[in-house]
Amino acid sequence: MIGPCGDGPGTGGDTIAPSAPSALVSTGATSSTISLSWGASTDNVGVTGYTVYYGSSSVNVTGTTATISGLSPNTSYTFTVKARDAAGNLSAASNTLQASTIEGTSGSTSWVTQKSYASGDTVTYAGKTYVCLQPHTSLAGWEPPNVPALWRLQ
């Protein structure tokens, strides 16, 4: 049924929001990530995805789990999740979850290729110590002195 103002294509006149996601929990944490899980929402037409909110950031996912990356070590974050349907209706927020990343590794390790580094990680390379500026997986050619966007000399 089309309302008096007319609904755009694809909405089908759906004005009913999905139910709120339930039982938001943390399923794990590293120094730069927090993994989350929650109960699925229901909708009269169908849930198309979820948005995870934390601080001033958010990330869209399609399932009922998410791993939020690029976080600071030893830091507490507050999370909520909302469901959305094809018409763009948003559910009420899930329960609020407070979760923390773990403390980063102490001391430096030697830089190696094919390793995932988190912001704040320290490594040694050619006798010098570097701090990781942004999360990445190291590749040959990305040695700390070669990529100042990824590493800062300490």
Report whether 123 contacts 108 (CB < 8 A): yes
Q: Residues 114, 93: one domain?
A: no
Cα(146)–Cα(137) distance, integer angstroms = 15
Do residue 86 and residue 115 come from a single domain? Answer: no
Give the CATH number for residue 33: 2.60.40.10
Encode pLDDT of 50-93 as tens digits: 999 998 899 999 999 999 988 888 888 999 999 999 999 999 99
| Nearest-angstrom CA–CA distance, 56 and 68 | 13
SS3 category, 110:
strand
Q: Is the pTM of this model over 0.95?
A: no
In terms of residue numbers, what domain contains 139?
109-153
pLDDT-derived band at 4 (thresholds 50, 70, 90) equals very low
87 and 145 part of one domain: no
